[in-house]
Every structure is written in C-alpha cells, then in structure tokens.
Amino acid sequence: MRHRTGILLVVLTALVLLSGTVLGGNKFELFPLPPPEEYGNILIDRTSAKNDVRPVNFSHWLHRTKYSCRVCHFELAFAFNVNATEITEADNKNGLFCGACHDGKIAFGHTPENCEKCHNGDISYGSEKFTELMSKFPKAAFGNNVNWSEALKKGIIKPKYSLYKDEKPLDFDKKLELRAEWGGISPAVFPHGAHVAWLDCSNCHPDIFNIKKKTTKHFEMKYILDKKFCGACHLSIAFPLDDCKRCHPKMR
C-alpha cells in the first residue's frame, strides 16, 4: 500500500509540474544564448550595409559599466528595438545619439582613424576585454554571468544616471506580485527599485506597461517571447528568461 501511495505522489507531482505545459497546452522555447562576452552585443545596421559600410557593433556590457540604461534610452532617445532609431553620421557629429559622448572629449570622436572601432561588423568585437573587466563582478548564472544589480548596490560600478543633470533615481521600490495562470508556477515578483536604478519611469509607462489597465492576465510568456512587456529587455540585454528564479523566486 505504501509503495502504491509513493508512486501516486510521484505521478501527481509530475502532473502538477507539467500542467502548465503539456496539460495546459502552453509550450515555449527559449532562444539559445550567445557566449557571456557577446550577450547584449548588437549590430546596428539600419542603412550601413546598403551604403557599403560595415554595421556598427555596440556592446551593452561595456557601456553599462559607465552609464545607466536611462541615459541612452531616455535622454538620447534610442529605441529599445535595434535599428528602430534613425541615426546618421551627421547627427552624431552634431552631438546627438552616440555623438553625445563620442565627441573626442568624453570618448573617442567621429574621426577617420576611429571608424573601425564602431563600423567593424563584428558582434564579438572587444570581447577580449570582457574577462579582465568582469572578473570582480558578482556572478550570475545566465546572460553575461554578471549580476548587474548587485554590482550597482555594492558600488563596484557607478554609472551616470544622467548626462545633463545631477539627478538621482526615484526613491520608489513598490513590489508587484504577478500571479501565474499555469499550475505549479509560483508568482513573478517585480521590484520597482531594481528597475528605477537603471531606467526612467517613461521607459516602461505607458508604452510597454499601461498602468491604467490594472491587470496582469495578458503578461503571458508567448507575448514576452515576442519582445513585448518584460521581453523588451529580458530576452537579449537584461538577464535572460532562462534565469527563472530571478522573476519567480519561490519556484523550485
């Protein structure tokens, strides 16, 4: 009798764990991750290839040691989606977009000898610096293998929150619990504090998250995997969805 009870418990446990995928008909596949030194790297190629110029390599891990996400995606108006921003060389030379820092004073300028530092078409460009720069950072299991929030808290990095003002992140750390509709999946927890340290409120509201709707039913994984909601960042830049427990802390 005990043997049968043990088998029944194992079967029931398996059914609960699978209820969100097999029984519920919900299945999804996470994207394969690049090596840590390439995670977050993008190639900007809106018009470069069309004009016989190699695409621009941009390394998020290198830049986020010096600047918050807010600087580029709020103050400098870079869209979250790659190639969605109309960047021109004339704009850069006039101090817009990349030119706000790459002016020859803050960072290397837009001069002929520096062209290949950006226009190299190589997604791994600069990766030889990764191991040395990241060696003292708190570890994480996925993405760059770096816990950026911890690095910020511990003062290992002190990225600029604003280029133009002595501005500090909003003192707001309301935590939201987003209940999962799948059986056996614990709620996701969203901490505002960890996000406002890097971002401006307008980065998320109202375009990505409309706070007037007061609902979480539509925050499904299929939408997140389509770069909506959390997927705007947590697919290829912020820590990836593979790190389940970072969002679902009570998940076993």
Provide the residue ranges of all domains of the chain, joining segments of one domain with +: 41-131, 169-252
Task: Read off the pLDDT of residues 32-55 as tens digits, 9 standing for 90 and up.
Answer: 999 999 999 999 999 999 999 999
pLDDT over 90 at 23, yes or no: no
Which own/partner contact pairs does 12-16 have at CB distance under 8 Å and 24+ positions apart? Answer: 16/183, 16/184
Quick one: pLDDT band at residue 138, thresholds 50, 70, 90? very high
The residue with greater pLDDT, 217 or 10, is 217
Are both 41-131 and 169-252 of the same fold? yes
Task: Read off the pLDDT of residues 183-219 as tens digits, 9 standing for 90 and up.
Answer: 788 999 999 999 999 999 999 999 999 887 766 667 8
Q: pTM here?
A: 0.85
pLDDT at position 67 is: 98
CATH class in words for 169-252: alpha beta
Q: What is 41-131's CATH number?
A: 3.90.10.10
Cα 246 to Cα 232: distance, rounded to the nearest angstrom: 17
